Chains A and B, each alone.
Chain A
């Protein structure tokens, strides 16, 4: 086996510096650079930047929404507390008012009852007086009637007395 270095017509040397190849390689590298930059790099970076921005803004929005929700929640809790207080106040007031009203009603009823009783007593008294007056009138009439009868008949004192007694008994029966 031996090693020889040979030259052939249509090829460049294995180790040679060829000006044309350098120039074309530089041009090709520039083209690849531009292709990579504009077909892939810039597009991907634009999407990444856009996504970054979007994530940032969404996170900010989420934070703001959370803060808002927290505030609303606090407000509602406060309001709930307030309304509870108000409700208990209302109930207390209602109870108080009801108590007052109760006392009022009872007092009024007592008053009315008293008035009714007084009226009743008055009317009883009146009736009584009326009845006494009527009795008195009747007695007078009867006395007159009895006197007439006494006058009509000749009667003894003894008879008279019996008559009067009889009369009185009649009156008492009436």
Chain B
């Protein structure tokens, strides 16, 4: 595989199916190098604007005596994330409540951007990788904070010294697997959706491509998106609480 592009050729009809990487939307020079803002980042900005409006509208004008359905939704969302974090990590990790909530919202919306005809930012391994890097850093920081330097080093030779290489591999494998799981699920959904659309386009002069892809899109874009976002934040919580030495 010299390049990551796939192109499916139907030679008889001369139609092609390609799955591209993200577009290089903007390039600019800064700090003596050329920076590339890819399509994934641009779509993230769209997600950010949507989320900013969503958070602002939900969080506005809350009352102790709730009078609006809007406030009930806001309390439900925040309460669900808070409950999840408290259940998975215990009461010492209250600081993770907003991180897990915001990460779930970010990932979920990034996964369903395909519905609006945009390329999912989660179909880019650099994006999911960035989130996995955060998890990686949080795990290391938690290990150091709860165990100290001694406990941190000791955690690599437990339960037995010969486990040292496996423990080191495990620390890196977990976030890599986390990143690739989200990326793989999204990109496979995108490829399958594209393939089905492409294949149906050849049937009945393209009429078959109305309706059936919508059902698939419902699964890959909504159901799978929800599951994958949930798994990602759950794994983040699990890795961090497992790193807790106390």
Binding site for B on A (CB under 8 A): 1-8, 10-26, 28-29, 31-33, 35-37, 39-48, 50-51, 54
Task: Name B's A-contacting residues (CB within 8 A).
Answer: 1-11, 18-24, 35-38, 40-41, 44-45, 48, 51-52, 55-56, 58-59, 62-64, 71, 74-75, 77-79, 81-82, 97-99, 101-103, 105-106, 121, 124-127, 129-131, 133-134, 187
Are A20 and B134 in contact, CB atoms less than 8 angstroms apart?
Answer: no
20 additional A-B residue pairs with CB within 8 Å, beyond A22-B127, A36-B105: A8-B20, A13-B5, A16-B4, A16-B21, A16-B125, A17-B129, A21-B38, A24-B37, A25-B41, A28-B45, A29-B102, A29-B131, A32-B51, A32-B105, A36-B102, A39-B52, A39-B56, A43-B62, A44-B74, A47-B75
> In the complex the two chains form, is B48's CB within 8 Å of A47's CB?
no
* Known A1-B11, A3-B6, A40-B59; contact A11-B187, beta-carbon cutoff 8 A: no
- Structural contact, B23 and A29, CB atoms closer than 8 A: no
User: DSSP class of A's interface residues: helix, strand, loop or mixed?
Assistant: helix
User: In the complex, which of the residues B71, B125, B126 has the most CB atoms of chain A within 10 Å of its own CB atom?
Assistant: B126
CB <8 Å contact, A5 and B82: no
CA distance A33 to B131 in the complex (A): 12
Asked if B21 contacts A11 (CB within 8 A), the reply is yes
With a CB–CB cut-off of 8 A, which chain A residues contact B8?
A: 1, 3-4
Q: Select which of A19, A21, A32 is within 8 A of B102 by beta carbon.
A: A32
- Are A14 and B4 touching (Cβ within 8 A)? yes
Task: Please measure, in the bound complex, the distance between the C-alpha atom of A81 and the C-alpha atom of B165, giving whole angstroms.
Answer: 86
Contact B21 A25 (CB under 8 A): no
Q: A37-B98, A39-B59 are in contact. Are A5 and B24 (CB under 8 A)?
A: no
Cβ B21 vs Cβ A13 within 8 A: yes
Q: Which of B79, B102, B126 contacts A16 (CB 8 A)?
A: B126
Pairwise interchain contact B126-A45, C-beta atoms closer than 8 A? no
Contact across chains for A5 and B126 when beta carbons are under 8 A apart: no
CB distance from B235 to the nearest CB of A (A): 16
Q: Known: A2-B9, A14-B20. Is A21-B2 also a contact (CB below 8 A)?
A: no
Query: Is the Cβ of B133 less than 8 Å from the Cβ of A18?
Result: no
Shortest A12–chain B CB gap in Å is: 4
> Do the beta carbons of A12 and B38 come within 8 Å of each other?
yes
> Given contacts A22-B133, A26-B134, A35-B102, are A7 and B44 in contact (CB under 8 A)?
no
Assuming the contacts A2-B9, A8-B20, A14-B5, asked whether A25 and B131 have C-beta atoms less than 8 A apart, the reply is yes
Complex contact B2–A5 (CB within 8 A): yes
CB distance from B102 to the nearest CB of A (A): 3
Q: Are B9 and A12 interface neighbours, CB within 8 A?
A: no
Contacts of A36 in B (CB 8 A): 51, 55, 98, 101-102, 105
